[in-house]
Structure 1
Amino acid sequence: MRSGRDILVYAADYNKGNAPISIIFDDLLAINDQLSNLNGNALDIIIETPGGSGEVAEDIVKLIREKYDDVAIIIPGWAKSAGTIIAMSCDEILMEPASALGPIDAQITRNGKTFSAEALLKGMDEIKAEVTSTNNLNMAYIPILQGISPGELQGAKNALDFAKVLVKEWLIKYKFKDWNHHSTSGLPVTVQEKEQRAEEIASDLAEHSKWLTHGRSIKITDLERMKLKINDYSKDVELADAIRRYYTLLKMTLDTNIYKVYETVESQIFKSLHEPNQPPAHKPDQGNIAVFDVNCPNCRSLYKIQANLGVEKPIEKGHLEFPSDNILICPKCRFEINLSQARQQIESQTGIPIV
């Protein structure tokens, strides 16, 4: 796509919310596997993600940066939340007007509800301020205060600071590494100026009260107002055409039962959801096993099925063994799921029988 640069694709389908489309620990193995197939000196990452674990995003960046000094990220669609954190670790960010990043304000799940860590902390500060000014505690606040421990408040603060610290560190180390002179005055850029700019950008991206919702789209113009340099690839007709053509093919791939794609020019890993009677859409992993996902059509529970090819192997933790009679009994609701076509697809693709 861009001459002389390796390409790594990490993409998830926003429309398959019943699948694990977020950035999670399992992604590390697939990304590391795809990186092992690359041998160039520079990397372009094409990303499409709703976000997910900031800790896993940090580990993904470490894997990439151990291999490459020159990394660019291409965002043809959305890279929200932890995807935005990854973008801030790159030397170059390529977007077009339709592309979007998202706020990095930490989200906390409590009692089945997800909300902003910043909103929680600011709410507590407002209660403190009201009590201080009136010397009286509104009785309506008591149930709220009883349900929140000091440890939870500290956890919310730590989660909020984590994303900001990562973004600030990576902007200084990577995005700003070649920012040596001011574009207007031509004067040298000091370390203190890089730190200040990085702090301002990280704080802006993490400010829930500015963006109001975690899913808000942050466009090129928003980022440029933060004084973050963005490469608008729509101004390069040839490059824009290549990216859009690939993105169309990627979306067509995700319009199937595939919910995640890890891809290089030479290799692909797909993760798929499978309804009954649908075969898995990818070839087995090395080690003579094939692992694929099955959704129970009755209770919608998701299971990972391990098919041993040719020889018996231990069933990995969290996996269910491919049934010898092709009928999987849902452990939760006891519904019978017919995997006959899955067996046929795997054995025809590999030429090896399931044992």
Structure 2
Amino acid sequence: MPNWAQLLSEINSQGSVHDVVRRRYVKELSNLTGRNVIVYYSGWLEKQDLIRQGLTGFEVNDSDKNGFMAVIHGMDRSKGLDLILHTPGGDIAATESLVDYLRAMFKNDIRVIVPQLAMSAGTMIALSSDEIILGKHSSLGPIDPQINGAPAHAIKEEFDRATRDISINPASIPVWQPIIAKYSPTLIGECEKAIDWSNKMVKQWLETGMFRDHSDKESKADRVISELGDHALTQTHARHISFEKAAGLDLKVTRLESLGQDMQNAVLSVHHACGLTVSSTPAFKIIENQNDVGFISSANMMLTPAPFQAMPQQPGPDPQQP
């Protein structure tokens, strides 16, 4: 019979009700597919108030590597990996490092399942896999890199336009001067390097991943980069890329709905359980596997309360009235 301390330790190890329910559905998905499952789930949509207050860590960053190391340890890697990916994107260097690590662990036996959104660097991670599974509700995004929160392509386009306009009409210098002044002298060079880096990286992943058996893999990879990496074509970094658009680029994408109702239910159950966790608890990022091993980032800051506003006092009864 366990003592008090042992029972308390067992209860604490089970986590919250959200943890128990979420882990059950992650395990059910793994049992259904016979593959390893890792959830990488950011709560950036649910925690907008905290983002406005300055909380960071929602994005792909170098600290995520510790989480992946923890959840991959002890796995039977011969079963491959299904990565449930829901992220706004993040740092290019951290993305490159993470993809290199996942490939070293699972080779090319990686499927990325996008339950809702894998934007920016999240799309880059998806493109590094052997197959992407998208539902009717799922979206990828452009892969143009960001510099200080602004698309590198957009910065370079604006600078190039200013150069052209000024060379044609020097009188336009006063118009462009305050616009160009916001850019540091080295920023344009940084943008050009970031664009070249991300393009080469994704091209190499495509050629050694989902296009590796294609005779025209180089031209196919170039087309994907042109369509998803050119800001002039995607128009905005927030643009959503549907299954149809991804399939039109010859990417190896599979409809979630085509895998059967059981698979659809299993994936969406994990998605909803994660969404409820990040919306109802301090957790804002979940990295977790089917073996109940998790690396969960939680916010230790409070939302700023709204200023108190007194309700107008209603007039009471006239004391002289009966």
How many residues of Structure 1 are paired with residues of Structure 2 in the alignment? 264
Is it true that 1:121 corresponds to 2:156 in the alignment?
Answer: yes
TM-score, length of structure 2 as denominator length: 0.77
The one-letter code of the counterpart of 2:37 is I
Equivalent pair of 2:285/2:296 in contact (CA under 8 Å)? yes
Equivalent pair of 1:176/1:194 in contact (CA under 8 Å)? yes
Match of 1:272 among 298, 313, 319: 298
Is it true that 1:6 corresponds to 2:36 in the alignment?
Answer: yes
Deviation, 1:298, is 5.6
The 2-side partners of 1:163 and 1:45 are apart by 21
The 2-side partners of 1:83 and 1:163 are apart by 13
Deviation, 1:149, is 4.1
Sequence identity percentage: 27
Deviation, 1:272, is 1.7
Distance 1:116 1:236, change over 3 A: same
Q: How does 1:131-210 map to 2 (within 5 A)?
A: 131-134=166-169, 137-179=172-214, 189=215, 193-210=216-233
List per-residue Cα deviations over 1:4-61 (Å, max 9, x = no partner): 3211111111221324211112111111111113123211111111111111111111
Equivalent pair of 2:256/2:263 in contact (CA under 8 Å)? yes
Q: SS of the counterpart of 1:138?
A: helix
Match of 2:245 among 218, 222, 226: 222
Q: How does 1:261-300 map to 2 (within 5 A)?
A: 261-266=286-291, 267-273=293-299, 294-296=300-302
TM-score, length of structure 1 as denominator length: 0.70
Equivalent pair of 2:77/2:105 in contact (CA under 8 Å)? no
The one-letter code of the counterpart of 1:86 is I
The 1-side partners of 2:184 and 2:289 are apart by 46
- Calculate the aligned-residue CA RMSD, in Å: 2.0
Deviation, 1:215, is 1.6
Q: SS of the counterpart of 2:192?
A: helix
The 2-side partners of 1:46 and 1:241 are apart by 14
Equivalent pair of 2:210/2:251 in contact (CA under 8 Å)? no
Q: Of the two structures, which has the highest relative contact order with CA contacts closer than 8 Å and spacing of 6 or more?
A: 2
Give 1 or 2: higher strand fraction.
1
The one-letter code of the counterpart of 1:31 is F
The one-letter code of the counterpart of 1:44 is D
Q: What stretches of structure 1 move > 4 A for 4+ residues in a row?
A: 296-300
Deviation, 1:296, is 4.5
Distance 1:245 1:297, change over 3 A: closer
The 1-side partners of 2:69 and 2:225 are apart by 27
List per-residue Cα deviations over 1:65-119 (Å, max 9, x = no partner): 111121111111111111111001100111111001111111222xxxx322111
The 2-side partners of 1:99 and 1:236 are apart by 15
Q: For structure 1, list consecutive stretches of 5 or more residues without a partner in the other structure.
A: 180-188, 274-293, 301-355
The 2-side partners of 1:79 and 1:28 are apart by 18
Q: SS of the counterpart of 2:77?
A: coil
